[in-house]
Amino acid sequence: MRANLSTVVVRASALPDFFDCPARAEAKHLLGKKMPTSGKALLGKAIHASTAVFDQSNIEGKGITIDEAAAAAVDTIHKPEEDVALDEDESPRELERVAIALHHRYCEEIAPTQQYAAVEVRCERVDITDIGLALTGTTDRVRKVADGHGITDLKSGKNAVRADGHVETKGHAYQLGVYEILAEQALGIPITEKAQIIGLQTGKTDRAQRVAIGEMERPRDVLVGEPGVPGILEAVAHMIHAGNFPGNPRSMLCGEKYCPIYSTCKYRK
């Protein structure tokens, strides 16, 4: 690509959308079309909020208890900052119950095994001038390990952790790779160790509410292309600068609940 391309800013968390359905990605992340937050997303945000309070307290030595930190999850659910569209089988009380249960499991089972250097690491911008792309976003955690630092990403959902304790990392490499770049830029330290995904299974029963850790070696390798094969970031940049955003009617998120242009999308025919 030419070095004089105008730069487009993209959030790290938006990258999966560009590969799942480019038309939806353009609407949401480039044109700013909004959708109400789903119950699933609100639940994930609540767990992120409360666990972040707990981990930050441990870093600073403030000694906030697990129950005290859980208040952040409750506030997130009952005082949302955006419009929320709950399914018929969802309610704020039910979301709160699951959020608090997983918050406790994380704080009791996962947090004691980690040594975090930073929580919710915000990077305002990393410019990649040769492809006309700038990245921004927040890395959930940066942890200390024996030989350096690695990033940790929390992912919640109904399929986050299998019954055998396996956390699926496949398909997350480019997002984790970008989080590594953002963390390096924000903190000024090299990120050299394995990336982690902490899975938080949002089941309705105690048995289905599981937490576990998965690891990935060198996730940012997929960001860089090979001769004749563009890397992930170059592929996204090419799509954006070419204005080529085809729709994907077979996407699992093709529906009124998830897509702001669903009713007008020509690709659904």
Q: How far is CA 95 from the centre of its chain?
A: 19
- pLDDT interval class at 261 (50, 70, 90): very high
Q: What percent of the chain has pLDDT over 70?
A: 98
CATH tag for 1-31+115-247 (out of 3.90.320, 1.10.730, 3.90.226, 1.10.10): 3.90.320
Q: What is the pLDDT of residues 180-194, one digit of tens each?
A: 999 999 999 999 999
- pLDDT interval class at 22 (50, 70, 90): very high
135 and 126 in contact (C-beta within 8 Å)? yes
Is the pLDDT reported for residue 263 higher than 90? yes
Task: Annotate 63-126 with DSSP letters as a single string.
Answer: ---HHHHHHHHHHHHHS-SS-EE--TT--HHHHHHHHHHHHHHIIIIIGGG--EEEEEEEEEEE
Least reliable range by pLDDT among 162-176, 195-209, 216-230, 244-258 = 216-230
Is the pLDDT reported for residue 196 higher than 60? yes
Is the pLDDT reported for residue 225 higher than 80? no
Task: Annotate 186-214 with DSSP letters as a single string.
Answer: HH-S---SPEEEEEEE--SSTTT--EEEE
- pLDDT interval class at 146 (50, 70, 90): confident
What's residue 4's pLDDT?
59
250 and 269 in contact (C-beta within 8 Å)? no
Q: What is the pLDDT of residues 56-94, one digit of tens each?
A: 999 999 999 999 999 999 999 999 999 999 988 899 999
Stated pTM of the model: 0.91
Work out the average pLDDT over 208-216: 96
Is the pLDDT reported for residue 29 higher than 70? yes
Domain(s) labelled CATH 3.90.320 in the chain stretch across 1-31+115-247
In whole angstroms, what is the distance from residue 98 CA to residue 104 CA? Answer: 10
Q: How far is CA 189 from CA 58, 142, 144, 180, 192, in A?
A: 21, 10, 11, 10, 9
Question: In this structure, what are the phi and psi dihedrals at residue 138, rounded to the nearest 5 degrees?
Answer: -125, 125
Q: How far is CA 40 from the centre of its chain?
A: 13
Average pLDDT, the chain: 93
Distinct helix (H) and strand (E) counts, the chain: 7, 8
